[in-house]
Chain A
Amino acid sequence: MHAVYSFLTGPLAWVAFGIFFGGIAYRLVSRALLARKRDTAVFEYWSFYHALRSILHWICPFASVNSRRRPVLSVVTFVFHVALLAAPLFLFAHITLINEAFGVHWWFMPDGLADVLTLAVLGACIFFFVRRKVRPEVAYLTTAGDYAILALVAAPFLSGFWAYHQLPGHAAATLLHIFSGEVLLVIIPFTKLSHMFFFPFTRGYMGSEFGAVRFARDW
């Protein structure tokens, strides 16, 4: 058990983070090079002001027309994403691990809040799942992959929660947690979760074209 734990928190963690950061860097750089070659427009018409303007309108809930038209979804996604990013980043357990390994640490949140955020993510995943089932326009687009990714996103939260609350089988849950977290990190660069780092570019490009060339809003 301990060997597995060491392996998961040692070599495999290195590999996972390596692939995560390396993968993101690779994807961004290779995409930028491709754009240089074939989509000069992206560079030619890029306007930081208009890109940022558009990104902000699409990050803040209710700042776009479509977001106002779907208040429930807007709140859920917003909470989902904030919790998704904040929970692991400011989790006491995570920071402790990092501190032990690298001697760096930062603000951590009370565990109670972490619980709330975790549950929020899990709740949102259920919401997304149901939405995929019941909304015909979403169901039509949904592939098995979408469910799998949803499950992979939920997995570290579920198992982390399980482990933290010492629910039955928590030892295995801890291992599962770490493993699933690593799997998630690894797939982010290579699946639709790449939207995490492509978002500023797709949105920013559209914001630039609309703002600087078309003189129109895009939200």
Chain B
Amino acid sequence: MNDSSNWDWNPGKRLIAPIGAWAATYGWVEEPVMSADGEQVAAVVKSDEAAFAACVNGEIWEASFDRVWNLRFTADGRLTGLVNDGGMWTVAVDGQAWESTFEYAWDPRLPANGGPIACAAKNGSEYFAVLDGQPWETTFSNLSQLATSLDGKHSAAVVQTVDFSEGDIFKFQEGCYSVAVNGQVWKRNFMNAWDPIFAPKGDRLATTVRLTLLETTIAVDGEPWPGTYSAAWEAHFHPAGERVTAPVKTPKGWQLAEDGRILWERAYAQLWHQLYSPDARRLAAVVAPRFGRWTMAVDDQPWKTTFGDYVSDPVFSPDGKRLAAIACQDGRRTVVVDGTPWAESFDMVWPPVFSPDGRHVAARVKQDDRWRIVVDGRPLPEAYTTAWDPVFSPDGKYLLVRAVEGSGAEAVCQRLVRPLNDIRG
């Protein structure tokens, strides 16, 4: 992840921008986004009658566009957006549009670190991916499910390799799709390919493929596993990048397979979103041990507590010892850590965040249309108009809260650093 040690961790509250006042200036202000370090807040605003731009901490981009949307900060604080100028689309980074423009550009992918930004684009009927403004050399008649490696340097997508006319079901069943990695298409075609995913280093790629209407499996670097299943969900690489796991549907139920062999013996009513602990020692997945009950399983051992609606967004603590996820029961959501749910539940909960030492878990929640930050199950007293995910300081002593206080013209975007001791009190 991004190095947060050089962020401002001095405790206290700092005003980032009085965003409520922007409306008076621009007339049109869309929902704000905030950078990870809480130093910048931005929103799409109208720069004049028919032109849009992003306003960052009160400063508007110099360039304006016919349309700006999907504003998001990269982990290292660059503000990106999809922009349209004179009918051509591209990505703008900190107000600077890429030189290359396209008939359409969409699905921006931001790197976890300072790497390139990717997106999907098309000109005419030619589809391709673009990295930092540089399009792939090859184009396809369709492209979807763009994926990038962690460092953003590699890109891949499911592409259509054989044209068929609508209604030609037999041609389709022969396999007209494949995966292109950095523009290079795999040798083999498939009926379908789904959820391409890079190995951590970006050197390998796995994807779920359907070989026939009834046979689905995982293909790694274009080579399908020998066995097939009636269904399979997205694959996942081992942190070392060699082994690949995927949930597969066998006659027994859903099981976790690794490199084509069953890894988890237990069969579940559902199993998906597997993830490794950072130290690669433990493997967890969202499971339904039986119809309608959801929980997490770690190394094929489901937690005892189950939930009726769903369990989602699992995350391991950095030391790999603890596991947290969102759990929903009777329409109320909470965070569940190692099988124990927080006492309070909320209308909405965002993915939990661990402190670096794994001892604390925080999350932003929404209750009665107000956002709050909850730490270890205890909501902080303040309620906000908007809030973003809290961030722990590298030494685990402070919590960064990024939020909008007040509403309407009074709304201000704040950056608060709170000592954890305070909170634990």
A191 contacts chain B at the CB level, 8 A cutoff:
no
A137 contacts chain B at the CB level, 8 A cutoff:
no
B291 contacts chain A at the CB level, 8 A cutoff:
yes
> For chain A, which range describes its interface: under 10, 10 to 19, 20 to 34, or 35 or more residues?
under 10
Minimum distance in angstroms from B60 CB to a CB of chain A: 52
A100 contacts chain B at the CB level, 8 A cutoff:
no
* Interface residues of A, dominant DSSP: helix
A99 contacts chain B at the CB level, 8 A cutoff:
no
Contacting residues, chain B, for A40 (C-beta < 8 A)? 269, 290-292
The size of the chain B interface, using a CB distance under 8 A, is 4
Q: Which residue of B lies closest to A41 (CB)?
A: B291
Within B256-306, the residues touching A (CB, 8 Å) are: 269, 290-292
Q: When each residue 36-76 of chain A gets 1 if its CB lies under 8 Å from chain B and 0 otherwise, what string results?
A: 00001000100000000000000000000000000000000
Contacting residues, chain A, for B292 (C-beta < 8 A)? 40, 44
Minimum distance in angstroms from B254 CB to a CB of chain A: 14
Minimum distance in angstroms from A45 CB to a CB of chain B: 10
Q: Which residue of B lies closest to A40 (CB)?
A: B291
Q: Which residue of A lies closest to B292 (CB)?
A: A44
A44 to B290, CA, bound (A): 11
Contacting residues, chain A, for B269 (C-beta < 8 A)? 40
A40 to B290, CA, bound (A): 9
A40 to B269, CA, bound (A): 11
Contacting residues, chain A, for B291 (C-beta < 8 A)? 40, 44
A44 to B269, CA, bound (A): 14
Q: Which residue of A lies closest to B291 (CB)?
A: A40
Contacting residues, chain B, for A44 (C-beta < 8 A)? 291-292
Q: Which residue of B lies closest to A43 (CB)?
A: B291
Contacting residues, chain A, for B290 (C-beta < 8 A)? 40
Minimum distance in angstroms from A151 CB to a CB of chain B: 44
Minimum distance in angstroms from A37 CB to a CB of chain B: 11
A44 to B291, CA, bound (A): 8
A44 to B292, CA, bound (A): 8
Q: Which residue of A lies closest to B269 (CB)?
A: A40
Q: When each residue 16-46 of chain A gets 1 if its CB lies under 8 Å from chain B and 0 otherwise, what string results?
A: 0000000000000000000000001000100
A136 to B100, CA, bound (A): 73
Within B127-186, the residues touching A (CB, 8 Å) are: none
Minimum distance in angstroms from A192 CB to a CB of chain B: 30
Minimum distance in angstroms from A28 CB to a CB of chain B: 22
Interface pairs A-B: 6 shortest CB-CB: A40-B291, A44-B292, A44-B291, A40-B290, A40-B292, A40-B269
B: residues with CB less than 8 A from A are 269, 290-292
Chain A to chain B contacts (Cβ below 8 Å), 6 pairs: A40-B269, A40-B290, A40-B291, A40-B292, A44-B291, A44-B292
